[in-house]
Amino acid sequence: MLINLIIAGVGGQGNVLASQIVAGAAVKEGLTAVVGETFGASQRGGSVMSHVRITRGREVGPLIPRGQADLLAALEPLECLRVLRVFGNRETRVIMNERPNYPISVLQGEAAYPSLDDLKAEIGKLARLILSFSATDVAQQAGSPVAANVVLTGALAGTGFLPIALDSYRRTIAELFTGNARELNLRAFELGLERTGRRVAQSPRRLD
């Protein structure tokens, strides 16, 4: 088994944390995880990406080859398309936060951000499946828009695509945080879970 998951977003959105939750939960399941991460651009508005590869004991490198992402969890629509074009294939399943994060060139009026409909249409053509919602709005309900990363992680967990029990995610989150942040993130995870949990429970399609 080798599952290739990419978590894509913009520096400051919490890519790294999302990948740590998924990979940490995988290790709790007795699986082998490797995460390739770039966080020099964190907080500074650059495109960031985490490659999470999950196996049963097989040693692989931290980078997913082109066109071989099985799953793409995108914290931002434009980043979703950017990554999908390079790493996606016709079988790639996509979970996406619909809230845009505008590049500086868009804020400055030099470039236009594509419409969400256009983005979703193109992503839909490239990928096998796209589940999208505003994780940022859901995170706001959980208590802070910053928790969109954990909402999306919850949604990813809820799909059941990954062979990881929900409790392993919850335990990982509980270990990574203390106090209020733990409560916030657990809440965000559950709210994210609700977005996909039910529909996937009817037709689980685990990738392993």
Chain contacts with another protein (rule: CB under 8 A): 10-12, 16-17, 19-20, 23-24, 26-27, 30, 32-41, 43-47, 59-68, 78, 81-82, 85-90, 102-109, 111-114, 118-119, 122, 125-126, 136, 145-146, 175-176
- Residue labelled with tokens 């942040």: 181
Q: 19 vs 132, which CB is nearer to another protein?
A: 19
State the nearest-atom distance from the C-beta of 198 to another protein, in Å.
Answer: 28
State the nearest-atom distance from the C-beta of 207 to another protein, in Å.
Answer: 16
Query: Is residue 133 a contact partner of residue 195, using CB atoms and an 8 Å limit?
Result: yes
Q: 18 vs 191, which CB is nearer to another protein?
A: 18
Q: 33 vs 162, which CB is nearer to another protein?
A: 33
Query: Is residue 25 a contact partner of residue 10, using CB atoms and an 8 Å limit?
Result: no
State the nearest-atom distance from the C-beta of 199 to another protein, in Å.
Answer: 26
> For 105, phi and psi rounded to 5 degrees?
-65, -30
State the nearest-atom distance from the C-beta of 201 to another protein, in Å.
Answer: 27
Query: Is residue 113 a contact partner of residue 101, using CB atoms and an 8 Å limit?
Result: no
Q: 82 vs 183, which CB is nearer to another protein?
A: 82
State the nearest-atom distance from the C-beta of 55 to another protein, in Å.
Answer: 10
Q: 91 vs 198, which CB is nearer to another protein?
A: 91
